Structure 1
């Protein structure tokens, strides 16, 4: 069994697609109409056949209070691996991304947490290879 798709709930799919592609650098993989929304996935350009991130509309009534509670507590919903958290923090900050946690050493890992403009906190992390 492998993970093929994971999701992030987004307030606006078009805004999310813009942020996740133009700002974070993911690439559009799938864009298919699905009722009143879209089956909209992005992938890492470093792994175009890897795990897809579904930009899923926050339409279920439980989603908004759930997302708001996570953000209020400073809990990121997803974590993305990067080679160098400090360099990625600088690149994204220059693009106007708001970080709620600057690069911080957590044992062997370095993490930072950003606001994805779609109602979520996202962690970026680098862990040295063993």
Structure 2
């Protein structure tokens, strides 16, 4: 069993695609129009053929309260590994990304939490 696809619920697919590609540095893997939305995935250029993230419209009635509760409690929806959290924090901050948690050493890893502009908090982590 392998993880090949996971989803992030987003409030606007075009805005999410711009953030996840132009800001975070992922690459678009798939875009198939499906009515007013698309089957839209991104992946890491560091992992060709690796796990993809579906930028899934958050239109289900449960999605809004779920995302709001996580954000209110400061809980990241998912986590991405980076080589150096401090360097990514500096790079992304310079691009205007809002962080809800600055780089913090939490034992075996250093973490930071950012707002993806699409209703989610995303954790970055790097091993110490």
TM-score norm. by structure 2 comes to 0.98
- Look up the SS of the partner of 1:2 in the other structure: coil
SS at match of 1:25: coil
Equivalent residue number for residue 7 of structure 2: 7
What does 1:7-26 correspond to in 2, within 5 Å?
Answer: 7-26=7-26
Distance 1:54 1:120 in 2: 14
- Distance in 1 (alpha carbons) for counterparts of 2:48 and 2:7: 16
Match of 1:59 in 2: 59
Count of residues paired in the alignment? 128
SS of 1:53 mapped into structure 2: strand
Q: Secondary structure at the match of 1:124?
A: strand
Q: Which runs of 5+ in 2 are unaligned?
A: none
- Within a 5 Å distance, the mapping from 1:62-81 to structure 2 comes to 62-81=62-81
Q: In the alignment, what sits opposite 1:27?
A: 27
Q: 2 CA distance for matches of 1:26 and 1:124? A: 14
CA root-mean-square deviation: 0.7
Give the Cα separation in 2 of the matches to 1:35 and 1:123: 32
Write the distance in 2 (CA, Å) between the matches of 1:36 and 1:82.
33
Q: How far apart are 1:34 and its partner, in Å?
A: 2.1
Structure 1 residue 35 displacement after superposition:
3.2
1:104 matched to 2:104: yes
TM-score norm. by structure 1 comes to 0.97
After TM superposition, where is structure 1 displaced by more than 6 Å over at least 4 residues in a row? none
| Structure 1 residue 36: Cα displacement | 2.5
Partner SS, residue 21 of structure 1:
helix
